[in-house]
Amino acid sequence: MNDAEKPAGSIARVVAAARDAGLAIEVRRMGASTRTAEEAAAQCGCSVAQIVKSLVFQGERSGRLYLFLVSGPNRLDLAKAATLAGEPLKRAEPRHVRDETGFAIGGVAPIGHRIAIPAFADETLLGFDVVWAAAGAHDAVFAAAPDALMNAAKAKIADIAEG
């Protein structure tokens, strides 16, 4: 495992990306898993809706990765997501996500990816003063104002949730 694959390297990429985007964050290592929205909310002491799920999908034609930032209890509407991406989507293989982004599933952050990934954000996240996102490891999170986080992630705000 090289340094970029180690959690400390992944977390450092998140911190650097935040700094480069003018976003001040404090990464918290929770000591317990924050892989699911429910686990993260319990660890952060917030509602599940304030958890930002970073979901990575792959274009069926292009093979390109796409990032969807979705509020904890919401499910991504794959048809809406495909329309935004401009092609049909499929869930990306965990190894492919790790190789391309530098993050393992369960620790995928909205910022700090090794490659540029088109990002789209669930509009319902903007209804909160603070949201919590993964910071590059299964137990690492950070809080941010949702608009500042979406700007740092270069995410287009959209209606991407089911329902």
Please indicate, yes or no, if residue 163 is contained in any of the structural domains: no
Question: CATH number, domain at 61?
Answer: 3.90.960.10
Question: Do residues 35 and 140 lie in contact, with contact meaning Cβ atoms separated by under 8 Å?
Answer: no
Proportion of the chain above pLDDT 90, given as a percent: 80
Where is pLDDT greater, at 78 or 32? 78
pLDDT of the residue at 7: 53
In a domain, 113, yes or no: yes
Strand spans (E) along 32-139: 51-59, 65-71, 89-91, 119-122, 131-134
Domain count for the chain: 1
Which pTM does this prediction carry? 0.92
Task: Count Cα neighbours of 162 within 13 Å in the Cβ-side half-sphere.
Answer: 7
- Is residue 145 one of the residues assigned to a domain? yes
Asked if pLDDT for residue 83 goes beyond 50, the answer is yes
Round to whole Å and give the CA distance between 7 and 68.
22
Tens-place pLDDT, residues 30-75:
888 787 888 889 888 999 999 999 999 999 999 999 999 999 999 9
Residue-wise pLDDT tens digits, 103-160: 988 889 999 999 999 999 999 999 999 999 999 988 899 999 999 999 999 999 999 9
| Structural domain contains residue 32 | yes
β-bridge mates for residue 30, sequence order: none
- Burial of 61 (C-beta count, 10 Å sphere; 0-12/13-18/19+): exposed
* Nearest in space to 109 (alpha carbons), one of 32, 29, 43, 15: 15
Instruction: Check if the beta carbon of residue 37 is closer than 8 Å to that of residue 24.
Output: no
The predicted pLDDT at position 3 comes to 43
Q: What domain range includes position 90?
A: 3-158
Any domain includes 89? yes
